[in-house]
Amino acid sequence: MKTSRREFIKKLSLSTAAVSIGGVLPGFSAKSYRNIVGANERFHIAVMGVNSRGQVLANNFAMQPNAVVTYICDVDRRAIDKCFATVTERQSETPKKEKDFRKALEDKQVDALVIAAPDHWHAPATVMALKAGKHVYVEKPCSHNPREGELLIEAVKKYKHVVQIGNQRRSWPNVVEAIKALHNGVIGRVYFARTWYTNNRPSIGIGKQIAVPDWLDYELWQGPAPRRPYKDNILHYNWHWFWHWGTGEALNNGTHFVDLARWGLQADYPTKVTSVGGRYRYKDDWETPDTQTIGIEFGNGCSITWEGRSCNGAPSEGAAVGVIFYGEQGSLQIGSGNTYKIYDLKGKLIKEAKNDIKVDARSLSNPSQNLDAIHIQNFFSAIKDNTPLNSDIVEGHKSTLLVQLGNIAQRTTGALDIDASTGRILRNEKAMKLWSREYERGWELKI
């Protein structure tokens, strides 16, 4: 978190030749370097949700020589102050503090909104930003439920602004190289991808209904979600494990590697999705599965599985997280970082691509700062030069939908038949009730 702009740019230039953002010139301080770039050539950024991951994103955007963080937005006064302190270390301009991100959207100077708020806010905030004429960088998952993903695709078509999904691994050089190798037949026809995530998360206990803290605007935190009383075990991270606001481990972490799996298999919508699992480790308020296996079948003779173990961190294939592809002539494994390995059919290692930038896949906020800058620059390039996005809304929705369908299967009948042309659930009224959600009155999502 204390990386200087000079060190940051040096590391980025060493990590990849795919992006060139320059370097600090001799005789210039880290802050004064920003002034070399004309104000009109910089993107003005508002960041929404800066308690954890959002703070890291705010700092990362602030360290880009072609960007300036103009607004820091959060419903938690403490989070704003903390993020403000770190961002001002990284840029000479002083950002504005704003509890309500909608005020930032009213500022014509703002070019883009970065969204790292809870999952139930991702799609509504994206649509609001698009309507206000802003581009959007939204963390995964792009939506809380499948219908929101469909609406986001419609919104991007209507308002014609750039929306980049935070599937950052789509921009990591060695990961891109690995997927290209798969598509070029390095292990022959690829027919199966196994993905996993492991951790040792503690119990969240039984929450108590208490008064809302004075540092929090809980009404605005809930936003589009129907109102629930405030409890002491919801904020700031545990909301992930409540269906009302979160989407469980499957979308919290599974999305990243299921996205790589689908990309590697060159698959679109599935034909069948299954799920088994539950909340096994502790008896507490945690609603989503802590142990889950999702199976995803496609009509082109391939499939994906995702295994999530939130409460047992034993590694698989030597890694806490990852994806391994199986083909007719061998296998290819992408680990937690910007690395991959290729094996023959007997398991002999025949190629290994390493990277010296450390990635902590279990980090709650900052697993890969320097590599993620490549994804940010792709976002800027798409805005300025119409460069194709590495993770656009269509691709982001398709991957998000796979794990959303897994959760719907888990919560209903265990297995779903899917229309491979649309991704929609077939002949299952119970499951389709979870295709969308109810909104707080006045907060309905409209394009």
pLDDT for the residue 49: 98
3-state secondary structure the chain: CCCCHHHHHHHHHHHCCCCCCCCCCCCCCHHHHHHHCCHHHCEEEEEECCCCHHHHHHHHHHCCCCEEEEEEECCEHHHHHHHHHHHHHHCCCCCEEECCHHHHHCCCCCCEEEECCCHHHHHHHHHHHHHCCCEEEECCCCCCCHHHHHHHHHHHHHHCCCEEECCHHHHCHHHHHHHHHHHCCECECEEEEEEEEECECCCCCCCCECCCCCCECHHHHHCCCCCCCCECCCCCCHHHHCCCCCCHHHHHHHHHHHHHHHHHHCCCCCCEEEEEEECCCCCCCCCCCCEEEEEEEECCCEEEEEEEECECCCCECCECEEEEEEECCEEEEECCCCCEEEECCCCCEEEEECCCCCCCCCCCCCCCHHHHHHHHHHHHHHHHHCCCCCCCHHHHHHHHHHHHHHHHHHHCCCEEEECCCCCCECCCHHHHCCCCCCCCCCCCCCC
pLDDT band at 52 (very low <50, low <70, confident <90, very high): confident
pLDDT for the residue 370: 79
pLDDT for the residue 7: 52
Structural domain 173-207+216-361+393-432, CATH architecture: 2-Layer Sandwich (3.30)
pLDDT for the residue 16: 36
Q: Same CATH fold, 173-207+216-361+393-432 and 5-169?
A: no
Question: Does 6 have pLDDT greater than 70?
Answer: no
- Residue range 5-169 in CATH 3.30.2290.10: no
Tens digits of residue pLDDT in 374-416: 999 999 999 999 999 999 999 999 999 999 999 999 999 999 9
pLDDT for the residue 26: 33
What number is the average pLDDT over the span 259-286?
Answer: 98
Domain boundaries, the chain: 5-169, 173-207+216-361+393-432
Share of the chain above pLDDT 70, in %: 88
Tens digits of residue pLDDT in 182-216: 999 999 999 999 999 999 999 999 999 999 999 99
What number is the average pLDDT over the span 164-171?
Answer: 96
Q: What is the pTM of this model?
A: 0.90
pLDDT for the residue 40: 55
Per-range mean pLDDT, top range of 37-41, 96-100, 357-361: 96-100
